[in-house]
Amino acid sequence: MDVLTGWWDDYFWGAIVVGQVFMCSLGLMIIFGLLGAMAKLSNSRVAQKIAGAYTVIFRGTPEILVILLLYFGSAITLTAIAQIFNPEIKFVDVPPFWAGTIAISIIVGSYATETFRGAFLGVNPGSIEAARALGMSNLQTFIYVRIPEMWRLALPPFGNHMLSLIKDTALISIIGLNETMFVAKQAITVTGKPFTMYIVVGAIYLGFSTIITLVVMGIEKFGERTTIGAK
Amino acid sequence: MSFDLNLIAESLPLMLMGIGITFKLLIVSGFLGLILAICLLLMRISGRWFLNFPAQVYIYVFRGTPILVQIFIIYYGLPQFEAVRDSIFWPILREPTGCAILALTLNTGAYVSEILRGGVLGVSKGVLEAGSALGMSARQNFIYLTAPIATRLALPAYSNDVISLLKSTALASTITIADMTGIARTIVADTYAPYEIFISLAIVYMIFTFGIQKLFGVIERYLGRYMEREG
Amino acid sequence: MSTADAQPLIQMQGVNKFFGKFQALKNINLEVRKGERIVVCGPSGSGKSTMIRCINRLEEHNDGHIVIGGKELTDQIEDINAVRREVGMVFQSFNLFPHMTIVKNLMLAQQLVRKISKTKARETAMHYLERVKIPEQANKYPIALSGGQQQRVAIARALCMKPEIMLFDEPTSALDPEMINEVLEVMVDLAKEGMTMICVTHEMGFARSVADRVIFMDKGEIVEEAPPTEFFENPRSERTKNFLSQILSH
Ligand SMILES: Nc1ncnc2c1ncn2[C@@H]1O[C@H](COP(=O)(O)OP(=O)(O)OP(=O)(O)O)[C@@H](O)[C@H]1O
Ligand SMILES: [Mg+2]
């Protein structure tokens, strides 16, 4: 463990970056997922086709390709645009943080699209009719009946999507994000202990995964209690 | 900047030269991973804590950490130990391909064993009781009832995991392997044409994904004849 | 079996069964001789299923003795298998093997347990399929059959093992009314041939015409045990009267 002395703070800040990427990509992933689900459920053929293409493309393409494409593609485009205004500029990129965050949320969002769509369709039409029959308005039905039931259906797969997100953050190191993998690389060049350094990275990720799993379990328990209480 | 079709025409054959490696990674680790998964499954359902518990820990660790970290631990990490370098496994672990196959196998084994367990849990208790009531032993019940029924139940989820494995093979490029993605990255480094190269490669992966889906669709229908009423 | 007349085929003595703290069977004493036909009835949760499931060890009893055809049910796995070979069971939910055709359903245990050759097993299977009047379904999968047909297959599957005893756990209660009779007919035929049977059922017509004895269970106990005429005309316990009035008023 001696070799790790002096590196803990670097790992800590690396882990903070992982956490930041996770939080940002979680928000974006939900947005992409909801947009995709809405498009698939909409009456517009065009929207359905686009959403269909979205899910097929990102479920069939390796994550690393998406990240590389988004980062290098945007960099080349931005550089070209910047050179129009100032030919001196050599290189402009979207920061790896944002390129990576957007890439992994698009990818996982394509899976979330199916989750949200399934949850929406899974709501028992009987409960909706019952709520209507009780005189609840559309909005009330949506808030008190549809959302809670969707939530219950979507939570277990949604937990898996969160786990995918956290694990995919490791891939962003490939485009140079300064997170735990990156820290390990630096530490290895100094100490020459690759196994130790990458095991620490693994342990950090295992910690994140555990937290997410526990939180999802907690929410599930809580949800069960409230629905049982409501019955 | 423009979309250079000539470049695609020139690069595609180069990238397709990596197809062999991509397939080798997919098929060898898919096969070994399946065997590992069956072993883990048997440990999980053995009803003995000293088999169940280690399997559970294994699955938890390998599903809770990013595959990229696992690849790096094996490829960069293991040679840290002299015992590894002196062992009979060194010829395998010295080669990036051997390491990639090992990492992919260990990773997919953990996921697939959970998929198989889902199938086993899905076998109706009544069917097994009927087997016992006819005098069949626990082993006969497993071989003739649980295994075939669980296989069919697990197949859709398993096909998704094979697709995930295909996508994970692209990470082999991070440890110098010249699979399709590895070659593409080299070409992009030379040509600065990420759009052309990465998008055309993504399409290749999507075609393979589509092929895997079709293949499993056929197997599912064949093994699932008994689920159709006209049968 | 020459000893069968001297010794009952099924003997339960002081059997208790617990699920955790809950006592599902309380001091069950029951003797069934060869060729006897017993009907068991009682309210839901009274322990009927648990009792007959103890007879072929699908449930383990906690106290008392269960002796089947001279073999006591203990933890000995050989004894359990020996008993299970002699005891056929039919379930409420049929429990056919979904991934096998009807004829394969009937052949599997013959081949694995009785070590009978494939051709012989197929012959036996077809013989019993004819007896339950659905030989033409032999090569279909269970899902393609109606509930009544599936239950007849399940009976045939048990009979293929040439059991000494047949247990029925509410074989008709998952069926649509129009299919109940086709299954009861098969059971009546079996009874006429002298099969030793224990049937959990609420088909009181069947009980009247076929049973040698009717057993009424409540809260894990055998409350009343009598020949059908006596049982229906002249029930002794209050609980039985209540139960009968509820069932017969339907
Ligand atoms: N595996 C089990 N674990 C815990 N309790 C059980 C189990 N099986 C049965 N019980 C309980 O034992 C009691 C008797 O159950 P049993 O199934 O024998 O009743 P039954 O008379 O067959 O009822 P029914 O007419 O509903 O089939 C019930 O209260 C039931 O809840
Ligand atoms: Mg019952």
Work out the pLDDT band at C77, boundaries 50, 70, 90: confident
What per-residue confidence (pLDDT) applies to B165? 97
Higher pLDDT, A8 or C111: C111
Find which of C56, C60, C99 to mutate to test the B interface (most B CBs within 10 Å of its CB): C99
Set out the domains of chain B in order of their start, with CATH numbers: 21-177 (1.10.3720.10)
Mean pLDDT confidence for A175-195: 91
Chains C and B are in contact, defined as 3 or more C-beta pairs closer than 8 angstroms: yes
Strands C196-200 and C37-41, bridge-based pairing: parallel
Set out the domains of chain A in order of their start, with CATH numbers: 2-220 (1.10.3720.10)
Work out the pLDDT band at C210, boundaries 50, 70, 90: very high
What per-residue confidence (pLDDT) applies to A150? 86
Q: Considering CB atoms only, which of C81, C91, C96 is closest to B135?
A: C81
* Of B172, B178, B166, residue with least CA distance to B72: B172
Is A179 in the B-facing interface, judged by CB distances under 8 Å? no
Is the pLDDT at B9 greater than 90? The verdict is no
Is the pLDDT at A227 greater than 70? The verdict is no
CA C51 to ligand 1: nearest atom = 18
Higher pLDDT, C169 or B2: C169
Work out the pLDDT band at A7, boundaries 50, 70, 90: confident
| Distance (Å, whole) CA B197 – CA B221 | 36
Residues enclosing ligand 1, CB less than 6 A?
C 19, 22, 24, 42, 44-50
Q: For residue A41, how many other CB atoms are within 10 A of its CB?
A: 14
What per-residue confidence (pLDDT) applies to C195? 95
Work out the pLDDT band at A197, boundaries 50, 70, 90: very high
Q: Whose alpha carbon is nearest atom 25 of ligand 1?
A: C44
What per-residue confidence (pLDDT) applies to A131? 87
Distance (angstroms) between ligand 1 centre and the Cα of C56 equals: 16
Q: What rounded mean pLDDT belongs to chain C? A: 92
CA C53 to ligand 1: nearest atom = 18
Is B225 in the C-facing interface, judged by CB distances under 8 Å? yes
Mean pLDDT confidence for C90-116: 96
- CA torsion sign for C156, C159, C161, C167 is positive
Interface size A-B, in CB pairs within 8 Å, comes to: 124
Render A139-198 in DSSP notation, one character per residue: HHHIIIIIHHHHHHHHHHHHHHHHHHHHHHGGGGGGGT--SHHHHHHHHHHHH--HHHHH
Q: Does the distance separating the beta carbons of C108 and B144 come in below 8 Å?
A: yes
What per-residue confidence (pLDDT) applies to A229? 45
Distance (angstroms) between ligand 2 centre and the Cα of C171 equals: 10
From B118's Cα to the closest Cα of chain C, the distance in A is 18
Residue C216 neighbours by CB under 8 Å, 6+ apart: C40, C41, C42, C222, C223, C224, C225, C231, C235, C237, C239, C240, C243
Model confidence, pTM:
0.91
Mean pLDDT confidence for A45-67: 96
| Distance (Å, whole) CA B145 – CA C86 | 21
Query: What is the biggest distance separating any 2 CA atoms in chain B, rounded to whole angstroms?
Result: 74
